[in-house]
């Protein structure tokens, strides 16, 4: 009993021409359609008509065409009785004891499906009439997310909490159709003419997934930005759709068990925008400046700044000029020997005592060196 493979591989109109009665995927499905009933094509282009079964119900001898990218589920009374993951043509025979009810799919679908089959398969012999449903095995795009207010997470590189408003989209994939249908899809979608679409705004189950993704964004950002393999840089996120998808998928799995309970996984993400809060923007500016001054570029920048400072000190003259020379000397200690210009003599002051007193205060504060003070003292006193 069950499905008998007629043709495996690519399926075209030639196979349908050989069958007077067959079921397949409906026309005009959106790219985001995940689950829907098989459509009877008994009167397609004059290929004959089905006069034996009820609409949308497969009977003994019914033929089913499974296109690339889809899996076939057979159900009776809400219970799964058969599954096929390989594209091709199949025939339902209730009296053939040698026919198979499940095909692994040679890597098309996760091996966990076999375990799911053993857990949920129909107890006893299936009935004579069953309904057929197709499950998409493709990536299902255009699942969008967005936050209305900032979400916050700890960032190892910035060593503090950061916050942002973000929006983007992700692609879903059904990795275990049996778990997906058995544990997640509402019964209202297991009937002819109804399409389970993750992007349908009236799909309450899909809305629940949306809310769970929003609840997992902060942990996902934390996982990504604190991963040493990513360089601990949140700024790389928008260039790494697969890497962030792995972080988001891990966060969702940890909180809501999408893979193990529902047979779902997030495959790719696209971050449209990240708007950091004011504090985070200031931190990122500081980090950018630090990056710009790191390494050889920073050394060159420092030397140029010091040279400019010495030149300005010489032009200012007097005690102020000496301060510049003293500070420059300390900064150049580890850079190399740079010839320091000698500051020109300052104009004589009317009160040498006041001038020396001010210089002594500068010496006590560490603004000039002892040598600078002694030179100024000798000059002021005419020694």
Residue 377 lies in a domain: yes
Task: Look up the pTM and report it.
Answer: 0.65
Same structural domain, 127 and 151: no
**pLDDT over 90 percentage in the chain:** 27
Q: How many CA atoms lie within 13 Å of 66's alpha carbon, on the beta-carbon side?
A: 31
d(CA 253, CA 183): 15
Instruction: Calculate mean pLDDT across residues 242-246.
Output: 87
- pLDDT beyond 50 at 115: yes
The verdict on 11 and 115 lying in the same domain is yes
Question: Concatenated DSSP letters for 203-245?
Answer: -HHHHHHHHHHHHHHHHHHHHHHT-GGGTT-GGGGGG-HHHHH
The pLDDT confidence band at residue 315, using thresholds 50, 70 and 90, is low
Q: Do 201 and 132 share a structural domain?
A: no
Please check whether residues 86 and 14 belong to one and the same domain: yes
Coil vs helix vs strand at 87: coil
Are residues 66 and 127 both part of a single domain?
yes
> Cα(73)–Cα(132) distance, rounded to whole angstroms?
6
Return the CATH number at 171. 3.30.479.30
Residue scoring higher pLDDT (258 or 51): 258
Q: Could you read off the pLDDT of 1-21 as tens digits, one per residue?
A: 467 777 655 454 455 456 666
Q: Give the residue from 285, 315, 344 where a domain finishes.
A: 285
Q: State which H helix or E strand residue 314 sits in.
A: helix 295-316
Residue 178 — very low, low, confident or very high, per pLDDT cuts 50/70/90?
Answer: very high
90 lies in the same domain as 124: yes
Same domain, 372 and 342: yes
Question: Which residues make Cβ contacts (< 8 Å) with residue 333, sequence separation at least 6?
Answer: none
* HSE, side-chain direction, 13 A CA sphere, residue 16: 21
State the pLDDT at residue 241: 77
DSSP characters over 12-27: -HHHHHH-SSEEEPPT
- Given 137, 170, 205, which residue is the final one in a domain? 137
Residue 296: predicted pLDDT: 55
Tally of helices (H runs) and strands (E runs) in the chain: 10, 15
User: Which of 83-87, 155-159, 208-212, 297-301 has the lowest average pLDDT?
Assistant: 297-301
**Closest by CA position to 132, among listed 91, 173, 163:** 91
Distant-in-sequence, close-in-space partners of 48: CB < 8 Å, separation ≥ 6 = 19, 20, 21, 42
Q: Residue 180: is its pLDDT beyond 60? A: yes
Do residue 61 and residue 113 come from a single domain? yes
Environment class of 357 (CB within 10 Å of its CB; exposed 0-12, middle 13-18, buried 19+): exposed
Residue 191 CA to residue 197 CA, distance in Å, equals 14
By DSSP bridging, strand 160-174 and strand 130-136 are unpaired
148 and 278 both lie in a single domain: yes
CA neighbor of 157 nearest in space, from 210, 92, 224, 216: 224
pLDDT of residue 12: 47
Looking at the domain assignment, is residue 148 inside a domain?
Answer: yes
Q: Indicate whether 274 pLDDT > 90.
A: no
Q: Which domain holds residue 202?
A: 140-187+197-285
Rounded average pLDDT over 283-311: 63
Residue 209 — very low, low, confident or very high, per pLDDT cuts 50/70/90? very high
Number of structural domains found in the chain: 3
From 137, 158, 179, give the residue that closes a domain.
Answer: 137
The full DSSP string for 242-298 is: HHHHHHHHHHHHHHH-IIIII-EEEEEEEEEEEEE-HHHHHHHHHHHHHHHTSHHHH
Q: How far apart are CA 175 and CA 137, in angstroms?
A: 7
pLDDT at 358: 83
Q: Does some domain include residue 79?
A: yes
At 82 the pLDDT is 84
List of residues 6+ apart from 258 with CB closer than 8 A: 212, 249, 252, 264, 265, 266
Q: Do residues 90 and 122 both lie within one domain?
A: yes
Token pair of 324 as six digits: 């510049």
Q: What integer pLDDT is reported at residue 63 of this predicted model? A: 86
| pLDDT tens digit sequence for 325-352 | 455 445 444 444 444 445 455 544 457 7
Q: Are residues 39 and 90 in the same domain?
A: yes
Asked whether residue 176 carries a pLDDT value surpassing 90, the answer given is: yes
Asked whether residue 192 is domain-assigned, the answer is no
> Does residue 71 share a domain with residue 182?
no
Q: Is residue 290 part of a domain?
A: no
Please check whether residue 227 lies inside any domain of the structure: yes
In a domain, 291, yes or no: no
Residue 373 lies in a domain: yes
């Amino acid at each position: 009993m069950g499905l008998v493979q007629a043709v495996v591989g690519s399926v075209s109109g030639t196979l349908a021409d050989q069958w007077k009665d067959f079921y397949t995927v409906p026309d005009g499905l959106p790219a985001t359609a995940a689950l829907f009933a098989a459509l009877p094509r008994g009167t397609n282009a004059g290929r004959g008509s089905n006069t034996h079964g009820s609409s949308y119900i497969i009977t003994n001898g019914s033929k089913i065409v499974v296109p690339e990218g889809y899996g076939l589920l057979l159900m009776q009374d809400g219970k799964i009785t058969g599954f096929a993951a390989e594209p091709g043509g199949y025939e339902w025979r209730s009296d053939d004891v040698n026919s198979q009810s499940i095909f692994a799919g040679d890597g098309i679908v996760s091996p966990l499906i076999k375990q799911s089959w053993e857990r949920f398969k129909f107890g006893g012999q299936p009935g004579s009439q069953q309904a057929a449903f197709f499950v998409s095995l493709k990536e299902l795009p255009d699942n969008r997310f967005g936050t209305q207010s900032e979400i916050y997470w700890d960032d190892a590189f910035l060593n503090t909490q950061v916050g942002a408003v973000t929006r983007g989209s992700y692609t879903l994939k059904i990795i275990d159709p049996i778990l997906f249908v058995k544990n997640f899809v509402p019964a209202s979608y297991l009937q002819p003419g109804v399409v389970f679409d993750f992007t349908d705004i009236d799909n309450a189950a899909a809305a629940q997934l949306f809310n769970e993704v929003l609840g997992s964004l902060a942990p996902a950002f934390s996982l990504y930005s604190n991963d040493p393999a990513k360089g601990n840089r949140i700024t790389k996120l928008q260039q790494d759709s697969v890497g962030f998808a792995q972080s988001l998928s891990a966060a969702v799995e940890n909180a809501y068990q999408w893979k193990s309970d529902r047979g779902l996984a997030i495959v790719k993400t696209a971050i449209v925008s990240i708007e950091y809060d004011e504090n985070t923007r200031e931190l990122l500016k500081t980090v950018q400046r630090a990056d710009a001054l790191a390494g050889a570029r920073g050394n060159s920048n420092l030397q140029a700044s010091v040279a400019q400072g010495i030149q300005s000190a010489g032009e200012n003259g007097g005690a102020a000029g000496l301060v510049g020379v003293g500070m420059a000397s300390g900064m150049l200690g580890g850079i190399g020997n740079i010839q320091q210009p000698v500051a020109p003599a300052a104009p004589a002051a009317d009160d040498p005592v006041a001038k020396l007193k001010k210089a002594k205060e500068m010496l006590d504060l560490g603004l000039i060196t002892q040598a600078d003070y002694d030179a100024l003292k000798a000059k002021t006193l005419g020694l």
